[in-house]
Structure 1
């Protein structure tokens, strides 16, 4: 399946409040995580969006949902895989860092920390991000911070 048809699963206009579809964002800090890390073990192979972690042509990524809303689909320049923001992490809130899911600790460590350029294929939904996060805001300060940032976004 080609990148555009996979990205096409998310129907959005060319321009959204988040930005323009197709735009390239240079110098994005990326890290990696895996389901067997200590802070992810209790969630197993599930994402914050309630789906299974993905690693294939379409791969899971975690980010601050007030920066990259849930459902955002992007491609790292030079990489054929597509990534979908379907997870978040406490260390990501307030940053533009994207945490890429890797299926093993070895591949996670191999990725390390890299600055990459990403092409946004489809922006996700701030409204959906808020709907998922709001019921969870009493449980964690990083969730409250994302909710606060989402609520204060211009319409």
Structure 2
């Protein structure tokens, strides 16, 4: 019986070791998971209206809408405010946010919006959004200057990744030509 117990114990330890070795790591490609950010608030009665950049209604329910510069916090980025545990998803952008790390939080009333003001808060990034999806939504809107800036920043981010991929596939193409 002790031999059977030893095998069970060894099997359990092996499963734990393998499980720990294969755990997926947090995607840090877009930035750190915990961040301190400047936040402001907006509501549906402002000039942007009650719809987000995707055409859906702004959400003030379980997962609330938020706006950002999509080259900093891409479309679909989900985060939680550390102090309140409120969960948000980036589904909107705003002209005043372009080129900043500010996140604009949707509030369902003007009173809540004004009460929020400007705050520096800690957020926990639950899932980074998609730069590719951001580009797909923004590309047809490039006639607007603020959108042009986000698209340029997003495309610039993709360029180094392409160079790294080329270098890993063909080292000759990655090396600059020597002048003779």
Cα deviation code 1:61-94 (max 9, x no counterpart) = 0000000000000011111221000000000000
Task: Describe the SS at the equivalent of 1:115.
Answer: strand
- Larger C-alpha radius of gyration, 1 or 2? 2
- For residues 74 and 63 of structure 2, what CA distance do their matches in structure 1 show? 17
Q: 1:94 to 1:143 in 2, by over 3 A?
A: same
**Structure 1 gaps, min length 5:** 1-11
Cα deviation code 1:95-132 (max 9, x no counterpart) = 00000001111110000000001100000000000010
Aligned partner of 1:19 in structure 2 is 31
Q: Per-residue deviation at 1:52?
A: 1.6
Which stretches of structure 1, 4 residues or more, deviate above 2 A after TM superposition? none
Q: Does 1:35 align with 2:44?
A: yes
The equivalent position to 1:74 in structure 2, one of 76, 79, 94, is 79
Equivalenced residues, count? 136
Report which structure shows greater RCO (CA 8 Å, sep ≥6): 1
- For residues 106 and 91 of structure 1, what CA distance do their matches in structure 2 show? 21
**Structure 2 gaps, min length 5:** 1-23, 162-180
Q: Which has the higher strand share?
A: 1
Q: Per-residue deviation at 1:13?
A: 7.1
